[in-house]
Amino acid sequence: MFEFDIPQFSGELRLMALSYKGKNFGAADKTMTVADPIVISTALPRFLSPGDTVSVPVTLTNTTAKSTSATATIAVEGPLKIAGAATQTVSMKANGEAIAIFRIMADPSVNTAKVTVTINGLGEKYTDVTDITVRPPSTLQKMTGAGSITAGGKQTITMSTSDFMPASVNYSLVVSRSPVIELGDQLKYLVQYPYGCTEQTVSAAFPQLYFGDIAELLQQNKDQQKLNANNNIQEAIRKIKMRQLYNGAVTLWDGQDKEDWWATVYAAHFLLEARKAGFDVDNSFLGTMLNYINNRLRTKETILYYYNRDQNKKIAPKEVAYGLYVLALAGRSNVPAMNYYKANASLLALDSRYLLAAAYATAGDRKSFASILPGAFSGEISVAQTGGSYYSDVRDEAIALNALLDVDPGNAQIGTMVKHVADKLKQRQWLSTQERAFAFLALGKHARSANQSTATAEISVNGKVIAKVDGGQWTGDAKALGGNKADITVKGSGRLYYFWQSEGMSVSGAYKEEDSYLKVRRHFYDRNGKLITGNTFKQNDLIVVGISLEKTYSGSVENIVITDILPAGFEIENPRTKEIPGMDWIKDASTPDAMDVRDDRIHFFVNATTGKQMYYYAVRAVSPGNYKMGPVNADAMYNGEYHSYNGGGIVKVVQ
């Protein structure tokens, strides 16, 4: 005889026994019913949003041969409250069921919560505990600010909080002698970027090769595990390796068989720098990637390049000059190809001429470097692209500046280029991961060499000094700051730089509804394809969600992420409607490049190439109640000006 513990469970277990001796063995099994005299089944959605009201049916099953009555009581912890009576009395027949229905509401706060149902009946007490999360109906919002203070100056920093929920608000303030702190929002954006294609993975990891210490400082948060830059870099290396094809190229997403030229060159550049920084990079892995880049240079192809708003011309793909530069960094300079494009410089865009010059300098040919290098980064402004090599005016100047800083750090052009890139970072509301990554690398390199400050500072809150900065960096979160204001007084010589961030969830779930070059809309259909009007759905109904995407831009828009956040009363039934019987009415479904399905949302990664594209997935209405529904979003990941947000509101699920 032996005993063992099982978790809270009602149902049927299968007990199995095995025995053996020498080469002989035997086995037996038997089923066993496990049930309390009164079994509790509490029906709750997987999550709630602030302001949601949900009906909580509690099914009580009497497993005995005796009729009885029982008292059901509901209690809540966390950001929940009970609407109506918290106690009910129900009667249960022998081997019968009864239902007690309660109502709970979610407070305007975000946190974990607990719902406890207690039953008193048959002379005993029974409990059922359900953990549930109250999460925001829209995504986390962030506000940032940065600047500098000269020695002898004093400045009050006020970190805005908008209408954030009190429990979700956090502030952070970083003060440092390093000017790179002013770029803190750019680095934090990259590190926390929620999608994981190869380009975005490299963009997040690349700056951490050099600025991992700053990344860690910017991530300090009482509710967040400290970032480990080394782990992020190693994970990026692993992910690139998993996406490498037989010919050495890498794909943009998992499971694809389509090589991506720019992502391969970009990844190879990152791997070379990672190996230089001491990380383990397999030689054959990197070698086959470099072979692919070298082989692609054999074809002298051209593309149509768009610049100066309405002009275009035929050029060599921007992967060519970048690939030549990366090969030179690897000690594998392709001199014949370099000489070809040196002789045909008209085939190169402005930034490509900088990269080809840097390739010659890296290979030791300073004469060719000087002859090819443009006199200034001017006269050609790229029209931002959402795919291909992701070029834009910001990215182009930043990648050229990054290479120039490596091969000729004393060049007279550098000061002007630094000002151009820094000004654009501050002026632009939307920046892609490519723009942020290369701008951060270039400006960070320049800042490290230019920083000669000996300034010190005192940080005060309500007149009390809470910290001193005497070299190095200081960071404080909401607990250290005690509020959203701080005074910084600077002494010594030079200047100190600061970066602040406030973040939280909007109480109202407010968002700005607009269409900018893209138009995304959400539609609901029943399982037979009939459009559902209104916002009321029946419990247990299967609902087909149709998301339409249109572009108002004449060309194609690549690398768009569509995000649909579910209301709490819905659960994703199947993200692939073709697998559901009776869906033959769907004739216009487009296939996304990639898809990411989570408990409370779905992401489609797509390219807008035709006039209108449709994407479908199925949900089920599971819990009666009133729920907040966030907007459906469409964002071009490499040009934030291309976006659309629409369709937030309230949905009702009824029995």
Other Cβ atoms less than 10 A from the Cβ of 254: the count is 12
Q: In what order do the strands lie in the sheet with 601-608?
A: 514-516, 643-646, 632-636, 557-565, 601-608, 594-597
Hey, is 211 helix, strand or coil?
A: helix
Supply the pLDDT for residue 496.
81
Q: Report, as an integer, the average pLDDT of 502-530.
A: 84
Which of the residue ranges 32-41, 191-200, 568-577 would you say has the lowest mean pLDDT? Answer: 191-200
Question: Please, what is the Cα angle at 259 between 258 and 261, to 5 degrees?
Answer: 145
Between CA 74 and CA 115 the distance in angstroms is 7
Supply the pLDDT for residue 226.
39
Please compute, for residue 402, the number of CA atoms within 13 A of its CA located in the half-sphere on the CB side: 24
Q: Is the pLDDT of residue 188 over 70?
A: yes
Dig out the tokens for 618 from the structure: 């199925």
Dig out the tokens for 156 from the structure: 């009050």
Other Cβ atoms less than 10 A from the Cβ of 153: the count is 15
Between CA 356 and CA 174 the distance in angstroms is 38
Reported as a single tens digit per residue, the pLDDT across 369-400 is: 999 999 989 889 898 888 899 999 999 999 99
Between CA 269 and CA 328 the distance in angstroms is 10
Which of the residue ranges 45-54, 305-314, 489-498 would you say has the lowest mean pLDDT? Answer: 489-498
Determine contact, residues 215/191, Cβ cutoff 8 Å.
yes
Between CA 580 and CA 604 the distance in angstroms is 19
Provide the pLDDT confidence category of residue 193 given band limits of 50, 70 and 90.
low
Query: Of the candidates 575, 577, 555, 549, which has an alpha carbon nearest to the alpha carbon of residue 646?
Result: 549
Q: Is the pLDDT of residue 213 over 90?
A: no
Supply the pLDDT for residue 220.
45
Other Cβ atoms less than 10 A from the Cβ of 283: the count is 8
Supply the pLDDT for residue 202.
94
| Residues found in the chain | 655
Provide the pLDDT confidence category of residue 159 given band limits of 50, 70 and 90.
confident
Supply the pLDDT for residue 450.
57
Q: Three-class SS string for 146-182?
A: EEEEECCCEEEEECCCCCECHHHCEEEEEEECCHHHH
The one-letter amino acid at 296:
R
Reported as a single tens digit per residue, the pLDDT across 431-489 is: 888 998 998 888 888 776 656 668 888 999 888 888 888 876 788 877 788 777 889 99
Q: What is the average pLDDT score of the chain?
A: 87
User: Which residues, listed in sequence order, are joined to residue 500 by a DSSP beta bridge?
Assistant: 145, 173
Between CA 548 and CA 612 the distance in angstroms is 7
Provide the pLDDT confidence category of residue 147 given band limits of 50, 70 and 90.
confident
Dig out the tokens for 473 from the structure: 């960096």
Q: Report, as an integer, the average pLDDT of 1-12.
A: 74
Q: Is the pLDDT of residue 506 over 90?
A: no
Query: Of the candidates 392, 423, 179, which has an alpha carbon nearest to the alpha carbon of residue 305?
Result: 392
Which of the residue ranges 121-130, 188-197, 425-434 would you say has the lowest mean pLDDT? Answer: 188-197
Q: Is the pLDDT of residue 521 over 70?
A: yes
Long-range pairs for 221-229: beta carbons < 8 A, 24 or more residues apart: 221/170, 221/172, 221/477, 222/170, 222/477, 222/478, 222/479, 223/170, 227/191
Hey, is 210 helix, strand or coil?
A: helix
Hey, is 47 helix, strand or coil?
A: strand
Q: Is the pLDDT of residue 55 over 50?
A: yes
Determine contact, residues 69/90, Cβ cutoff 8 Å.
yes
Hey, is 234 helix, strand or coil?
A: helix
Residue that is written with structure tokens 């100047």 in the block: 397
Supply the pLDDT for residue 216.
54
- Which one has a higher pLDDT value, 426 or 201? 201
Hey, is 544 helix, strand or coil?
A: strand
Q: Considering the entire predicted model, what is its pTM?
A: 0.61
| Residue 214 phi, psi dihedral angles, 5° rounding | -70, -40
Instruction: Return the DSSP state at 383.
Output: P
User: Which residues, listed in sequence order, are joined to residue 504 by a DSSP beta bridge?
Assistant: 141
Determine contact, residues 603/563, Cβ cutoff 8 Å.
yes
Question: Could you tell me if residue 358 is left (phi over 0), alpha (psi between -120 and 50 degrees) or otherwise beta?
Answer: alpha
Give 347's contacts (C-beta < 8 A, 6+ positions apart): 302, 314, 315, 316, 341
- Which one has a higher pLDDT value, 349 or 215? 349
Burial of 367 (0-12, 13-18, 19+ CB in 10 A): exposed
Query: Of the candidates 188, 138, 185, which has an alpha carbon nearest to the alpha carbon of residue 163?
Result: 138
Dig out the tokens for 303 from the structure: 């593309």
Dig out the tokens for 483 from the structure: 């509020």
Element (H, E) at 11: strand 11-21
Instruction: Provide the terminal-to-terminal Cα distance of the chain, rounded to the nearest Å.
Output: 49
The one-letter amino acid at 183:
L
Determine contact, residues 323/356, Cβ cutoff 8 Å.
no
Determine contact, residues 105/81, Cβ cutoff 8 Å.
yes
Supply the pLDDT for residue 158.
86
% pLDDT > 90, the chain: 49
Supply the pLDDT for residue 140.
60
Q: Is the pLDDT of residue 637 over 60?
A: yes
Supply the pLDDT for residue 179.
64
Between CA 127 and CA 36 the distance in angstroms is 11
Burial of 226 (0-12, 13-18, 19+ CB in 10 A): exposed
Question: Please, what is the Cα angle at 103 between 618 and 100, to 5 degrees?
Answer: 95
Q: Is the pLDDT of residue 325 over 90?
A: yes
% pLDDT > 70, the chain: 91
Helices (H), 243-344: 261-276, 283-296, 318-329, 335-343
Residue-range domains of the chain with CATH = 38-134 (2.60.40.10), 514-654 (2.60.40.690)
Hey, is 398 helix, strand or coil?
A: helix
Dig out the tokens for 126 from the structure: 């029974």
Reported as a single tens digit per residue, the pLDDT across 575-607 is: 888 778 889 899 999 999 999 998 888 999 999
Determine contact, residues 510/162, Cβ cutoff 8 Å.
no
Question: Could you tell me if residue 509 is left (phi over 0), alpha (psi between -120 and 50 degrees) or otherwise beta?
Answer: left
Supply the pLDDT for residue 231.
83
Q: In what order do the strands lie in the sheet with 68-77?
A: 47-48, 124-134, 111-121, 68-77, 87-92
Between CA 98 and CA 88 the distance in angstroms is 11
Supply the pLDDT for residue 448.
67
